[in-house]
Amino acid sequence: MITAEIIAIGSELLTPFRSDTNSLFLTRSLEEHGVKLVAKGIVGDDINQIVFAFRTAFERADVVICSGGLGPTIDDLTREGLSKFLSIPLEFHQDILNSIEERFRRFGRKMPDINRKQAMVPQGARVLANHNGTAPGIFLEHSGKQVFLLPGPPFELEPMWEQYALPLLRKGPPYERKSFRIAMLPESQVDEMLKPVTDNLRDVQYTILAAPSEIEIHLFAPESAADELISAAAEVRSILGKHLYADELEPLEAVVGRLLKEKNRKVAVAESCTGGFVCQRLTNIPGSSAYFDYGLITYSNEAKTTLLGVAAELIATHGAVSEPVARAMADQTRKLAKAYYGISVTGIAGPEGGTLEKPVGTVFIGLSDETQTTVNEFRFIGNRPRIRFASSQAALNLLRLRLLD
Amino acid sequence: MITAEIIAIGSELLTPFRSDTNSLFLTRSLEEHGVKLVAKGIVGDDINQIVFAFRTAFERADVVICSGGLGPTIDDLTREGLSKFLSIPLEFHQDILNSIEERFRRFGRKMPDINRKQAMVPQGARVLANHNGTAPGIFLEHSGKQVFLLPGPPFELEPMWEQYALPLLRKGPPYERKSFRIAMLPESQVDEMLKPVTDNLRDVQYTILAAPSEIEIHLFAPESAADELISAAAEVRSILGKHLYADELEPLEAVVGRLLKEKNRKVAVAESCTGGFVCQRLTNIPGSSAYFDYGLITYSNEAKTTLLGVAAELIATHGAVSEPVARAMADQTRKLAKAYYGISVTGIAGPEGGTLEKPVGTVFIGLSDETQTTVNEFRFIGNRPRIRFASSQAALNLLRLRLLD
């Protein structure tokens, strides 16, 4: 078993305002290549803390991957930290300096002197070229360990990793992962439904991850257990059936878009409490103009009447957050847009506006086509962003289920 | 100087699909109470790795705060890890078990046997009550160090921290932070503009953080340098002027909402390439119904004509992504909604649809009121989500600037 630790270096990553995201990309790649991540760490721009982090990582992992701290400023100390920890001096590389100078020239600027620092490399290390920035990466083998120093910006780190680091990485027997997503079912219910499969797994590892209004299932196995993985995945698919909306973590809006394209149908949307969230998600998918033309954000009662022609008395009688208004909104938006489907969302996202009868989180979702109009009532829990996301999730999932009929 | 390390425990946090977010909340609280975070770490549900993480943290920090691994399953090993590391036995607490049983009873369920485990506490430790879940927190002082074990779910961790952990935390002289946000200026330009202030700081620390289409400025100082902090903040405000849209990290849509409310004016929005992003952001703010009624997502040419009455010839002559169409969309949406302001966004978010003359990232933003209609052309760089976010950011910022006039 080859083990790895990822260390993100940078004082800004110890503030309340920034997270390390590079490690998610790296983790994905490591598991594909049979390397087990045992720890992740973050330290600031402090030479002693960096040395300490290297020492710790050398104790618990075979491969140490660092991101950040390769820039030209006095705060960039990753090279120095590695050099100090291993007692290996830094050497000046003229060819690196040349390529940094060349890069500045291409952008019509003169290289500042401080960038010379980026041409310093620990003796015996290999340089990893950076085609997207000035900081070269560094690779070193020492005492049986592999060390990779990578630049912090993801658009520099990712291509460097793929092109230059990955070929050098010590690899293990690869692992495979099958992932599934489910909307609108509670975690405990999904977990219970899958027990017949998950209780009998041998070499396949099962994880269930719950986010608001979305459950992810992961099955994870070494290549040697590929058959068990395939059959477990097939059982999961068969148990969850239509509840399962995606293999391989495709977003719900992409699945809906694919189904609309396959059937050559369009959808129009009228939103109240979600205020554009459903439209925004649908149009986040490239090529969505094939199936989406019209969205109407009718936030006020007057807008529902003026834009959609929902009768003012209907709203006065039942309230804007009601089954009949959701029904009228869905029907009217479909007709107005001459679309195959009309979706509507009207509800109370809070924190104000709830009543005893219709508390915050009450949401009606309408779905209309030529043959039928259905309205579903939900009671979502959580704060405003969570209720809005859950509503958009429910709307897209209802459309997905209708498309599968 | 009191130092802290935060350790998140849980194998799911070492997958490509989950990040630790509790540490951001904890970091904010630590800095308010004068405790310096020196490292953050993540380890999986493995007793040896947990022991190793405690040993490392005891070497480099005075306060060790763990989240996660306090649940009832065999994977929950944080208690056991601390007990093993310090060679302190776990003791059974009948009163904890009683309160867990009581909690189950309240939800009409019988406590499963496995939850007994959560009543085990290291000898001499103090129990931190959990009013939002079954896992109690744990506080222990040992060899001059403070250790806090907190549950993983944020809605359990956060109130427990505030109510029970914080009063026990060893505190230092507090630090203060002044934060500012700027939209639509490049990082290098902001950095350059602020040099007269930032080059002369003594005890105040300056950080500039760039995200797509948004810059954050942080000034950070111990209480003893409060005067310098106040005067530096005043200089930053005066240099950045209108560019600065928020003190204290208020979102741009909240600032715009506040200004609209103050002036008692409404805005209506017509979106093409952003597909609802602007409306979604505006309505994410509680109380936005005071200033937002109408949003029109006119994704196709036909929708622009039918819904907004943009002349078909105008689109045929200039293209949907053009100055005259953006102008017409902004004017028409304002009139249709009888709003004070009309905003329009039309552009090419990609990856398809770009031309030599109008490459991907070309976006026209219109802003109309009774006295004038302006259209700004942008060339945004990046992928589809980035271009869409930048467009929404530019639209909201143009409205903000108009509101300040």
Segment B234-292, tens digit of pLDDT: 999 999 999 999 887 899 999 999 999 999 999 999 999 999 999 999 999 999 999 99
Between CA A163 and CA B235 the distance in angstroms is 46
Minimum-distance CB partner of A297 among B14, B16, B295: B295
Between CA A343 and CA A372 the distance in angstroms is 12
Residue that the structure tokens 């589809």 belong to = B384
CA distances from B263 to A58, B255, B391, B399, B405 (A): 61, 13, 24, 13, 12
Q: What percent of chain B has pLDDT over 70?
A: 100
Helices A187-198 and A226-240: crossing angle in degrees, nearest 10, is 140
pLDDT of residue A74: 86
pLDDT of residue B346: 98
Q: Which two tokens stand for residue A214?
A: 């979305």
pLDDT of residue A77: 96
Residue of chain B nearest A59, judged by CA positions? B52
Judged by CB atoms closer than 8 Å, whether chains meet at A27 and B19 is answered as no
Q: What percent of chain B has pLDDT over 90?
A: 86
Question: Which residues of chain A have a pLDDT value below 50?
Answer: none
Minimal CA–CA distance to A153: which of A165, A175, A135?
Answer: A135
What is the least distance, in Å, from the CA of B11 to any CA of chain A? 9
From the candidates B12, B14, B46, which should be mutated to test the interface with A, based on the most A CB atoms within 10 A? B14
Asked if residues B53 and B186 have their Cβ atoms less than 8 Å apart, the reply is: no
Distance from the Cα of residue B249 to its chain's centroid: 9
List residues bridging with B245 in a β-sheet.
Answer: none
Whether B63 shows a pLDDT value over 90: the answer reads yes
Minimal CA–CA distance to B22: which of B134, B159, B122?
Answer: B159
pLDDT of residue A364: 98
Judged by CB atoms closer than 8 Å, whether chains meet at B300 and A283 is answered as no
Residue of chain A nearest B39, judged by CA positions? A43
pLDDT of residue A152: 94
Chain A residues touching B385 at Cβ < 8 A: 284
CA distances from A227 to A177, A202, A230, A339, B167 (A): 13, 11, 5, 45, 54
pLDDT tens-digit series, residues B96-134: 999 999 988 988 888 888 899 999 999 999 999 999 998
Query: What's the rounded mean pLDDT across residues B324-346?
Result: 98
Q: Which residues contact A214 (CB under 8 A, 6 or more apart)?
A: A181, A182, A183, A252, A393
Between CA B20 and CA B40 the distance in angstroms is 10
Minimal CA–CA distance to A371: which of A336, A402, A349?
Answer: A402
Between CA A35 and CA A62 the distance in angstroms is 9
Asked if residues A154 and A29 have their Cβ atoms less than 8 Å apart, the reply is: no
Between CA B44 and CA A35 the distance in angstroms is 15
List residues bridging with B37 in a β-sheet.
Answer: B4
DSSP for B199-221, written as a single string: TT-SS-EEEEEEETTEEEEEEEE
Helix (H) or strand (E) holding A297: strand A292-298
Judged by CB atoms closer than 8 Å, whether chains meet at A351 and B15 is answered as no
Residue of chain B nearest A209, judged by CA positions? B12
What is the least distance, in Å, from the CA of A231 to any CA of chain B? 23
Residue of chain A nearest B290, judged by CA positions? A300
Banded model confidence at residue B68, pLDDT cuts 50, 70, 90: very high
Residue of chain B nearest A382, judged by CA positions? B155
Judged by CB atoms closer than 8 Å, whether chains meet at A287 and B352 is answered as yes
pLDDT of residue B187: 84
Whether B209 shows a pLDDT value over 90: the answer reads no
Counted across chains A and B, CB pairs separated by less than 8 A come out at 203
Minimum-distance CB partner of A294 among B49, B60, B307: B307
Minimal CA–CA distance to B27: which of A69, A385, A12?
Answer: A12
SS3 of B63-94: the string is EEEEECCCCCCCCCCHHHHHHHHHCCCEEECH
Residue A125: DSSP 8-state? P
Residue of chain A nearest B10, judged by CA positions? A39
pLDDT of residue B358: 96
Asked if residues A260 and A213 have their Cβ atoms less than 8 Å apart, the reply is: no
Between CA A160 and CA A163 the distance in angstroms is 5
Query: What's the rounded mean pLDDT across residues B212-237?
Result: 93
What domains are there in chain B, each with its CATH number?
2-168 (3.40.980.10), 175-247 (3.30.70.2860), 252-404 (3.90.950.20)
pLDDT of residue B94: 96
Minimal CA–CA distance to B119: which of B143, B103, B108?
Answer: B103
Chain B residues touching A286 at Cβ < 8 A: 350-352, 384
Q: Which amino acid, residue A100?
A: I
Chain B residues touching A44 at Cβ < 8 A: 38-39
In this prediction the pTM is 0.90
Banded model confidence at residue B74, pLDDT cuts 50, 70, 90: confident
The ipTM estimated for the assembled molecules is 0.89
Judged by CB atoms closer than 8 Å, whether chains meet at A293 and B278 is answered as no
Q: Which two tokens stand for residue A13?
A: 């990553």
pLDDT of residue A82: 98
pLDDT of residue A189: 87
pLDDT tens-digit series, residues A261-286: 999 999 999 999 999 999 999 999 99
Between CA A211 and CA B147 the distance in angstroms is 29
Distance from the Cα of residue B262 to its chain's centroid: 25
The CA radius of gyration of chain A, in Å to the nearest whole number, is 27
Banded model confidence at residue B381, pLDDT cuts 50, 70, 90: confident
Helices A301-308 and A323-337: crossing angle in degrees, nearest 10, is 40
Judged by CB atoms closer than 8 Å, whether chains meet at A12 and B351 is answered as no
Whether B213 shows a pLDDT value over 90: the answer reads no
Judged by CB atoms closer than 8 Å, whether chains meet at B19 and A19 is answered as yes
Between CA B158 and CA B160 the distance in angstroms is 5
Count of C-beta atoms within a 10 Å radius of residue A213: 20
What is the least distance, in Å, from the CA of B342 to any CA of chain A? 14
